[in-house]
Amino acid sequence: MLVRKLLASTSIIVGLASPGIAASISGTVTGPDGKPAMGVFVTAENPKTKISVYALSRADGKYDIPNLVATTYDLRIDAIGWKAVLKQGVILSSEASATADFNVQKRPVEWSELSTWQGRQLLPKTEAHNLSHKDPFFTSCFQSCHSFQNRMAIGTRTLDGWLDRVRYMSDSMMAGDGRRLKDPEIDDIAKHLTVLFGPDSPKPASPEQAPGYQATVRDFSPEAMNIVYVEYDLPAERGMGPWSAVEAPDGKIWIPYYGRGNAVVQLDPDTGEMTPFQLPFEHTAGIHSVYPAKDGTVWFVETSLGKIARLDPKTKEITEFQSPQTADGKRVGAHTIRVDDAGIVWVSGGPVITKFNPKSGEWKHFPLAGTYGNESAPDGSQWFTAFRDKGPIGRVKDDVLTTFQPPTNGKPQRLVIAKDGTIWFTERQGNKLGHLDPATGAIKEFNLPGPEASPYAINFDAQGMLWYPSHEMDTMNRFDPESSKVTEYPYPHAEIAMREFFVDSKGRIWYGASTNNKVGYFYLNEHTR
C-alpha cells in the first residue's frame, strides 16, 4: 500500500536487457531472508507527466511493468509492512527493457494504511461511541465522502482542531443538500475523532500491536498478482478530489471535482496534460458527476445547488439549468447525469427522476425518490438504482416508469447494462451483486466474499467479466457471471473510494480515487500468468 516516506536503497540493480516489443521494466523482489516476496507493488513514475504504472511481484518474486514509453522513470516499491525503496533516474529507451531488483526490509504498519473495515475493528472504542454503521461518525464522515486514512490518520489534532475540520466538512461537502450537520452532531464527531486521532489517543503506535490485527489481514491468491494500474496525479487543492473519469468521443477524459473544487477537468491520457474549467463562483457547487455528450458538450451536476450544467469546451461557456419544483412543491436534486443518443439529459438524485430536453427546454419528472446510479440502454430506456429505503430498480421507457424490487434490502447503488440487455447492479450495504432480467422481472442476488464486500462502482471488461471495488476493504474485484467466482486484487493505496467505472474506446476501465487525488485505469497483464 502507499507509503509516504521513501528511503533510498543501494540494493537496486539497474541495467539494460535485450530489446522487446515494447519498453518495460522487470526484476525480482526479495524479503530480508532473501526469499521471493509476493504482493509488493513496484511503481514506475514519469516525473514529468506524473503518470505512474503499478505492477505486483508474483509468487516467485518477479514483476513486470509493461507498455512503458521511452523516458526517464523513478522506481519505487510500496507495500504494507515493508520499508519503501526509491530509485530515481532510470532511463528507458524505445523498445528496450530495464531490470531493477529490490530487497525489502520490515517496518511497522501505519494506521493510514488500513482499510476502512480494518479501522472499524481496530480503532479505539468507547461506551458512548460503539463503532458501527449506525454511528453518526461513520455515516456522516466515512460513508458520505471519505474514510479516516488520508484525512484523519496521517496527523494528530486537539479537540479544537477536530471541531474546525468537522465544521469544514459539514459546510463544504454537505452544503445545500440537506445533510449539513447540526452543532450537537459536530461536537459528538469531533470528540470521537479526538479519542481516535488526538494527542492522547489510546491506540497503539502501530495497528500491528492492536489485538486481532492479524485476523483482519486479507490474503491474495497468486492469480491476483497480474493486475496493472495506470494512474494520473491531480492537484490536491481541488476540493474533495476527482469523483470519476469518463472518456469523451475525442478520446479526452473528463473529471468532476466534488466539494469546493468547483471545476471539471479535461485530461489528455497520452500526455497527462490537464485543463481545468472553473465555475465562476466560490460557493460550493458539489460537482458529483460529469458526462460528455456526442455533440462535444460536457454535462455535469451541481449537487449542492440542485442544478445541472452544460460546458462547451470550445468556447469555455458554462450554462446552468434549474429544474422546476415537483407538483407538490419539492426542490429537485441532482446526483448522477447521463446524456442519451438523442441528446436528452437524464438525472438521478432527487425526490424524482429528471428528464431534460435542451433543445425544447422541456422538463419531465418521474416519481422515484432517492435514485443514485443512472444508465442509458441501447433501446432508449433509462435505468436507475434507488439507494434509499427498499431500493427498487427503476426503468423509464417511452416516458413510463416501471420498478423492479430486489428480494432483499441491499440498497442498490450503481448498475451496468449487459450486452444481452439484462441489468447488473451493486448492493453496497447488502454486500451483494444483483442481476435483473427485464423480460421476466426475475432478480437474482449473489453474495460476495469478505467480511464487508461493499461493492460500489461496476462495469464489464472486454472478456465479459464484471469488476467492482470494495469500498470498505480496499480491494479490486472481478466477478465471473458464468461461474460466480470472485477474484480479489490488491489496490496500491488505502481508501479506494471509487464511485463509477467507465470503459473507454480501448476497453480500459477508468476510475476516480478521490481521496488519493488520482484517476486511472487498470488491466490484467496476461504475460505474467
Long-range contacts of 488-491 (CB under 8 A, 24+ apart): 488/218, 488/220, 488/221, 488/224, 488/449, 488/450, 489/220, 489/224, 489/227, 490/39, 490/41, 490/56, 490/220, 490/224, 490/227, 491/229
Domain 7-107, what fold? Immunoglobulin-like (2.60.40)
Q: What is the pLDDT of residue 126?
A: 63
Question: What's the pLDDT at 94?
Answer: 73
**Which pLDDT score is estimated for 270?**
93
- Is residue 351 within 8 Å of 315, Cβ to Cβ? no
Q: How far apart, in Å, do the first and last CA atoms of the chain sit? A: 22
In the chain, residues under CATH classification 2.130.10.10 are: 222-528
Check residue 526 and give its pLDDT: 73
Phi/psi at 163 (5° precision): -60, -40
- DSSP alpha helices (H): ranges in 169-227? 183-197
- What per-residue confidence (pLDDT) applies to 239? 59
pLDDT at 192: 83
What pLDDT, on the 0 to 100 scale, is given for residue 13?
A: 36
Tell me where in the chain the CATH 2.60.40.1120 domain(s) lie: 7-107
- 222-528: which CATH number, 2.130.10.10, 2.60.40.150, 2.30.36.70, 1.20.1050.10? 2.130.10.10
Q: Which has the closest alpha carbon to 243: 499, 502, 494, 493? A: 499
Q: What is the mean pLDDT of each run of 10 residues along the chain (529 residues)?
A: 30 35 86 95 93 96 93 90 87 82 93 92 70 47 66 84 82 57 81 87 93 94 96 76 94 90 93 93 90 97 94 96 93 95 95 97 96 95 88 96 92 96 95 96 96 96 96 96 97 93 96 92 76
pLDDT in the model for residue 127: 56
Which residue in this structure is represented by grid cell 434509499?
388
Please name the residues in contact with 145: beta carbons below 8 A apart, sequence gap of 6 or more.
169, 173, 240, 258, 259, 514
- Please report the pLDDT score of residue 19 as a whole number: 35
C-alpha cell at position 474? 480496499
Q: Do 374 and 386 touch, CB atoms closer than 8 A? A: no
pTM above 0.75, yes or no: yes
Round to whole Å and give the CA distance between 138 and 450. 20
pLDDT of residue 322: 95
